[in-house]
Amino acid sequence: MRRRNAPIITENSQVYTFTRRALVLGAGQGLLAAALAGRMAYISIAENERYNLASDENRIQMRLMPPRRGWIVDRHGQPIAINRSDFRVDLIPDRLHDPDRILAELARLLELPADEIERIRAELKHAAGYQPVPVAENVPFEKYAAVTVRLPELPGVAPLRSFSRFYPDAAAVAHLVGYVGTPNRKEYEAENKIPLLITPGFKIGKEGLEKTMEQRLRGKPGAQRIEVTARGQLVRELSTLSDVSGQPLPLTIDGGLQTFAARRLGEESGSVVVIDCLTGDILCLASMPAYDPNSFTDGISQNEWKMLAEDERHPLINKALNGLYPPGSTFKPMVAMALLQAGIDPTARVNCPGGFQLGSRFFRCLGRHGPMTMHTALARSCNTYFYAMGRRAGIDVISAMGRRLGFGQKFDLPVVSQNYGTMPSAEWKERKYKDDWSQSDTLNTSIGQGYVIVNPLQLAVMSSRIASGLDLQPHLIRANRPAPQPLPFAKEHFETVRSGMWEVVNGAGTAGRSRLEIPGVEMGGKTGTAQVRRIVGSQRGQSGEWKYRDHGLFVCFAPTASPRYAASVVIEHGMGGARAAAPVAKDVLTYLFDKEKAMASLIKFEEQWGGTMAQRMEVRAQRWLAEKAAEKAALQNGGGGATR
Amino acid sequence: MRGASFVPAPVATLPWGMLWIVLALGAAGVLALYSAAGGSFSPWAAFHAVRFTAFFCMALVISRFRTETFHDLTFVAYAGGICLLILTLMLGVIGGGARSWLELGFVRLQPSELMKPIIVLVIARFYARMPPKEIRRWAAIWPVGVFLGPPILLILLQPDLGTTMLIVLNTIALMFLAGLPLRLFIGSGIIVGAALPLVYSFLLLPHQQKRVLIFLDPEADPLGAGYHLTQSKIAIGSGGLFGKGFLNGTQSHLEYLPEQHTDFIFSAIAEEWGLVGGCVLIALFFLLVRWGMNVAIESKGRFERLTAAGLTLTIFFYLAINLMMVMGLAPVVGIPLPLVSYGGSAMLTVMICLGMLMAIDRGNKKDRRN
């Protein structure tokens, strides 16, 4: 079959075949050479732009430089939160090839403690390649320099000069401004994973104004174009675009007053709120005890956090906004306004025999006051008057007035949260408890007990609205705003209530001992004492365990002649408004009129308490650590004994 | 030849055009390696120059042999090559995932490389001795399989697919030149085309399968196995028409381009010298191959003819596959660019091929003079 048309093959025909086929192969080789040259031309000419870009993308990296945060300043331009330059060292997991060696080297250079190394190891294990793991912040310059000179032998290590947040007034502004920290995964994802959030050294606001005003404070990051090798080593810097720091944020707060109030609260757990009666500006929003926001900037240790979380005085809670208390008698100025609105004659008398009989129930007063007018009832805080008149006026008018003066309200403020409490009404009780409003509910409400709970800011707002007669809205951020409008109530009503509050401090009232010692400036106020739990037997919340004692409250304004400032002071478990809260209010208002006098009395107090706020916090922390250590030791000894 | 009166005959009869090409390629290698080391003769450029010179001299020595000597030594060399391959499997050094190297103390030898010219000799000798009319018979095919079988098996065991492929390709090309019926090549071409998917699924190891996949779509895995190819194309593409300039390649100097001193040296050269430099290099190689093919065509004896063609094709397949690989036209297989890449074994093989080609060329010229 094969032979049928096979050609005759000779040596010559083979030479011919070879030459022909060799020429075919040679042509093929030439074609391939041309194809290769063409392919190369295509890659290097037609696609040159694309590959140039890719080559630059390889070698040039943008290194973001976190922007400096805008300052937070007080109403006089004094700094509340500023930036301090510091040095830090991070690890980039992607570029880390020999973590053990590098970590050992860093531990030696930076003198890292063992538990820090453990933390870094743990974070490295969970880190996504792009996210830097912080090694150390606030590194002293000598150690920082020691790392930078060894950088070529330390691939994956990124030293950086950055800025950290600093709060000169420390704990005094903690709850107000909050603190900053490294963004967590959730925050990173919430902002569409923008690379800035994972830039080493970048912090975002985690609490307070730092959190709510984040976008304004943040600024725009700078960028550095750097040339790097495939292993991530820096070859050289190409260009730098500087950052745009965030806008400064001016507050309505008076920094001096804020610090003074925080210091004056001393060892107590409580809050001070001061409002400007002309504008509604919040001059002071202090809550104590507090944490040091500076310690959060570098990341807080577990011990520190535990200590804060376990403290029964709740240093992590902003009591001025989130503390809720029955207002007690500090409620009465508002109730008095409601009574007047209901048409009750302020000169009408109610006899106080030591209480008020409603059906089979006797509602107690704190004393036998005899015949009382609105003026004397406010001055001496007679419950009987308010029981009787409150019942006559009815809950509807009281609860409408309460809301109008700020209770149960949430204010338009850049804060993380406000607990707005309860201003009860018949409709509210029906909704909440599916029950009818009763006369005794009205009686309890009239003296600020029962369902009523309020926060200290609301108390201050009430005080400022009564003091000014204006519909003041509290503000934290300084801005030009339209003048506040008057409240739609008769001027005489405000004057009647204000004169009762004048009597409280300056006449035969409950806070006589706290009158201002400044010539020509008088303070009006109202004390309040709120039960923490029901009266059991003879114990009236005036003794016994701290956490069951009554709260002391005080609302006030000054000067009475022409109100300029209004304030509320709440001292948790302070046992009484006159005893605990009014003296604080007196000193805080004194500060506004005579700083030196106020400071002199504060320094005396601080000597009694055992040092400045920072010193006392330090002592407390040491004591706590010692206690924990002792507990741990006892536990180990006990455990060891049991097993033996 | 006209200057024979001034220069000694052995020097004058050297194929100077081809030698200049070879020297230019070697120099290109030295330059590229000097740049790859960041402007330094160590660790590569100096050693490359020394090795090149040594092998170049060796090629000149080989060119003095008579072609009959190659013919007579063919089976001795074949037996020696097989022994070395067996020794490699037993005592070899593992590098790049295969046991391909024989550590000789002063040099690392890759016996599979030496096997390439030896197989050319074997095939050439086989067809040279075959009576012309046998060429269309079955007897012209199966003995090739017998000769090829043992070395191919031993090389596959290393495992070194790249070299195996080159040897098989070379042999097929040689059979084509030997005059086997055309329909065999067309027929088997169709069969191989149909069988490729089966080979891919059943014969290739996972890492080889991956290479093929990535060759088809390198951007799918730019940081993984496609990294080599992507970075190579970036190097060539970013070079543009005239390149970034000597010592200015960023892809190579910043180490983005892997294996820039061996398999991917062409990309490093293209990055610094651009399309112009790359085309000069391609042209030099083309001229060298064309010279080899001309030597083959001019040869009088069938053994010389086939040997010259086979040796030229060996050189050709090296550079063709390497160049196609760095430009993304072939999968990434570890094949260096002869004479330019850093590395001894490939250069040794190519220099042996060139030496023998020169010997055949000398024989041709002598015939012509006679």
| CATH label of the domain that carries residue A149 | 3.90.1310.10
* Residue ranges of chain A with per-residue pLDDT less than 70: 1-7, 127-131, 232-233, 298-299, 533-543, 638-644
DSSP string, A492-511: HHHHHHHHHHHHHHHSSSTT
Residue B1's pLDDT is 46
Residue B3's pLDDT is 46
Residue numbers in A near B323 (CB within 8 A)? 36
Size of interface A-B (CB pairs under 8 A): 144
CA separation for the pair B84, A252 (Å, rounded): 90
CA contacts within 13 A on the Cβ side of A205: 28
CA distances from A524 to A337, A356, B8 (A): 15, 28, 126
Helix, coil or strand: residue B367 = helix
Q: Of A318, A321, A376, A370, nearest to A347 (Cα)? A: A376
Is the pLDDT score of B26 beyond 90?
yes
For residue A621, which phi and psi values (nearest 5 degrees)?
-65, -45
- CA B302 from centroid of its chain's CA atoms: 23
In a domain, A504, yes or no: yes
Provide, rounded to the nearest whole percent, the portion of chain B with pLDDT above 90. Answer: 47
Cβ neighbours for B66, distance < 8 A, ≥ 6 positions apart: B359, B363
Q: Across the interface, do A229 and B255 touch by the CB < 8 Å criterion? A: yes
Q: Which residue of B has its CA nearest to A52?
A: B238
* B307-358 pLDDT per residue, tens: 999 999 999 998 999 999 899 888 777 788 999 999 888 899 999 999 999 9
In a domain, A409, yes or no: yes
CA separation for the pair A561, B78 (Å, rounded): 120
Residue A2's pLDDT is 47
Residue B5's pLDDT is 59
In this structure, the answer to whether residues A199 and A336 fall within a common structural domain is: no
Q: Across the interface, do A29 and B290 touch by the CB < 8 Å criterion? A: yes
Residue numbers in A near B324 (CB within 8 A)? 36
In this structure, the answer to whether residues A179 and A273 fall within a common structural domain is: no
**Quick one: tokens of A250?**
């001016």
In this structure, the answer to whether residues A590 and A627 fall within a common structural domain is: no
* B129-170 pLDDT per residue, tens: 888 888 888 888 899 999 999 999 999 888 887 788 889 999
CA separation for the pair B288, B59 (Å, rounded): 15
Read off the pLDDT band of B73 (50, 70, 90).
Answer: very high
In a domain, A8, yes or no: no
Q: Across the interface, do B275 and A50 touch by the CB < 8 Å criterion? A: no
Q: Which residue of B has its CA nearest to A8?
A: B133
In this structure, the answer to whether residues A197 and A339 fall within a common structural domain is: no
Residue A131's pLDDT is 62
Cis peptide before A289 (omega within 30 of 0): yes
Q: How far is A124 from chain B (nearest CA, A)?
A: 21
- Please report, for the domain that includes residue A359, its CATH number: 3.40.710.10
Q: Of A92, A188, A168, A95, nearest to A134 (Cα)? A: A92
**CB neighbours of residue A101 within 10 Å:** 12
List the domain range (segments joined by +) for residue B109: 2-369
DSSP A354: S
In a domain, A326, yes or no: yes
DSSP string, A269-284: -EEEEEEETTT-BEEE
Q: Across the interface, do B293 and A25 touch by the CB < 8 Å criterion? A: yes
Cβ atoms of residues A353 and A555 within 8 Å: no
List the domain range (segments joined by +) for residue A368: 255-290+318-609
Helix, coil or strand: residue A113 = coil
Domain end among A250, A273, A299: A250
Domain end among A250, A275, A301: A250
Cβ atoms of residues B165 and B212 within 8 Å: no
Cβ atoms of residues B36 and B270 within 8 Å: no
Helix, coil or strand: residue A572 = coil
DSSP A243: -
Residues paired with A91 in a beta bridge: A133, A157
Q: Which residue has the tokens 């090389």?
A: B155
In this structure, the answer to whether residues A74 and A220 fall within a common structural domain is: yes
On average, the pLDDT of chain B sits at 87
Active site residues of A: 329
DSSP H stretches of helix in B299-328:
302-326
In this structure, the answer to whether residues A329 and A454 fall within a common structural domain is: yes
**Quick one: tokens of A78?**
């004094």
In this structure, the answer to whether residues A197 and A280 fall within a common structural domain is: no
**Quick one: tokens of A298?**
């570098």
Residue A570's pLDDT is 95
Cβ atoms of residues B243 and B277 within 8 Å: yes
Residue numbers in A near B218 (CB within 8 A)? none
Q: How far is B288 from chain A (nearest CA, A)?
A: 11
In this structure, the answer to whether residues A276 and A389 fall within a common structural domain is: yes
CA angle A185, A191, A196 (to 5 degrees): 80
b/e sequence B62-84, b meaning 16+ C-beta within 10 Å: bbebebeebbeebeebbeebbeb
Q: How far is B368 from chain A (nearest CA, A)?
A: 17
Residue numbers in B near A52 (CB within 8 A)? 237-238, 240
**Quick one: tokens of A16?**
């011919």
Identify residues of A whose CB sits under 8 angstroms from chain B CBs.
Answer: 2, 6, 8-11, 13-15, 17-19, 21-23, 25-26, 29-30, 32-33, 35-37, 39-41, 43-45, 47-48, 50-52, 54-55, 58-59, 227-231, 235
**Quick one: tokens of B189?**
């071409």
CA separation for the pair A281, A501 (Å, rounded): 22
CA separation for the pair B122, B146 (Å, rounded): 11
Query: Which of B241, B254, B283 is nearest residue A44 as measured by Cβ atoms?
Result: B241
Strand pairing class (A524-530; A551-558): antiparallel
* B178-202 pLDDT per residue, tens: 988 888 888 888 888 888 888 877 7
Q: How many domains does chain B have?
A: 1
In this structure, the answer to whether residues A120 and A205 fall within a common structural domain is: yes
Residue B296's pLDDT is 94
Domain end among A200, A230, A250: A250
In a domain, A631, yes or no: yes
In this structure, the answer to whether residues A414 and A541 fall within a common structural domain is: yes
Q: Which residue of B has its CA nearest to A47?
A: B237
Q: Of B283, B307, B308, B284, nearest to B294 (Cα)? A: B308
DSSP E strands in B237-335: the ranges are none
Cis peptide before A66 (omega within 30 of 0): no
Q: How many domains does chain A have?
A: 3
